[in-house]
Amino acid sequence: MSVEVFSKEIVKPSSPTPDDLHHYQLSFSDQMSPPVYDPMSLFYSSDGDTKFNIDDISDGLKKYLSEVLTLYYPLAGCIKDNTSIDCNDEGVPFLEARVDCQLFDVIQNPIPRELNKLVPFELDAHTDIAFGVQLNVFECGGIAIIACISHKVADALSYFVFVRCWAAIACGDKDVVLKYADQEGIEKQKPPSRIEALSAFIWNRFVAATKDESGSEKLYSVHHAVNLRPRFEPPQPESSFGNLFSVAITISKLNRAGKRIIMAWCVRFPLYEADFGWGKPTWFGSPALTFKNLVFFVDTPLGDGIEAYVSLKKEDMAKFESDEEFHTFVSQT
């Protein structure tokens, strides 16, 4: 898959940020977050009744991005010294690119490393940019919107709330821009049991596949990224922006030398609510994960299953993929 960038612009907030908001202090959780970009890919098919006018789509995305940046003004600023953001309205890069293949070919057999070609900048680049977008146009007329947000600024839920807000403004639906969730409903939320089951299964097979054949005991720890919003007192709304997560750890067989695996999920997040006026995404995907020993869960398009992105060291991946019990319960893409 070849990708050619043919346009690059800077999109600035439609209204200037007030002087008293120019300094945005990063929280302790923000400062402890890794200096990498979280990429999210939204694919929209051009078929049947859906035909895209790329110029109109590009102009619309930039126009409404400019408007939503006035609400999420730190994204248009510069990250300074890992402690704060200078909200100077410098703007965010917006790239456009041509892709020499069919969109269907990409989503039918997604290869994460190939999806890395669709992002606006390197995922592990150490820059002061907080956010960036690339609009990719496929030969069939389908498009993919790839947005990267610095993990120093926000977590995954913040990303999806931002994109949903961006899409809401594009559709003229101002009521859902900063919609607060019902507090009673938040208090009653429980971790989905299917995530617990899938996490336990992957951890079990990871341990079985990578254990020391000599029989010596080794430390295996699983880290779960936990959304803290509903756990605050009082609970915080879904639209709370920033890194509001923590890590819960489960450990098996205590020993100093060992392996660690991190489980993160976006299940039941608004992945498929990014309707900019031409329908919801056909598929949501992620480029290759930056870290090793990381598992990332997302919903399938119909919500009837879970897609797991598994990133392991090369030697561990070979063992994991050859595990017979693992193949019994999963389908690979």
CATH superfamily of 3-176: Chloramphenicol acetyltransferase-like domain (3.30.559.10)
| pLDDT at residue 172, as a whole number | 84
| DSSP per-residue codes, 94-150 | EEEEEESS-HHHHHHS--HHHHGGGSSS-TT---SB-EEEEEEEETTS-EEEEEEEE
Mean pLDDT in order along the chain per 10 residues (333 residues): 94 94 88 81 80 91 95 93 92 96 88 88 80 94 91 82 89 60 48 67 77 59 60 65 52 47 59 77 72 74 76 83 80 60
| pLDDT at residue 136, as a whole number | 95
pLDDT in tens, 255-280: 444 565 555 555 566 667 778 887 88
* pTM for the model: 0.64
| pLDDT at residue 326, as a whole number | 80
CATH superfamily of 191-268+291-329: Chloramphenicol acetyltransferase-like domain (3.30.559.10)
The contacts of residue 259 (CB under 8 Å, 6+ apart) are 206, 210, 218, 219, 220, 221, 293, 316
Q: Hey, where are the domains in the chain?
A: 3-176, 191-268+291-329
Burial class of residue 150 (count of CB atoms within 10 Å of its CB; 0-12, 13-18, 19+): buried
| pLDDT at residue 270, as a whole number | 64
pLDDT in tens, 64-111: 999 999 999 999 999 988 889 999 999 999 999 999 999 989 988 888
| pLDDT at residue 183, as a whole number | 45
Do the domains 3-176 and 191-268+291-329 sit in the same CATH topology, yes or no?
A: yes
| pLDDT at residue 190, as a whole number | 52
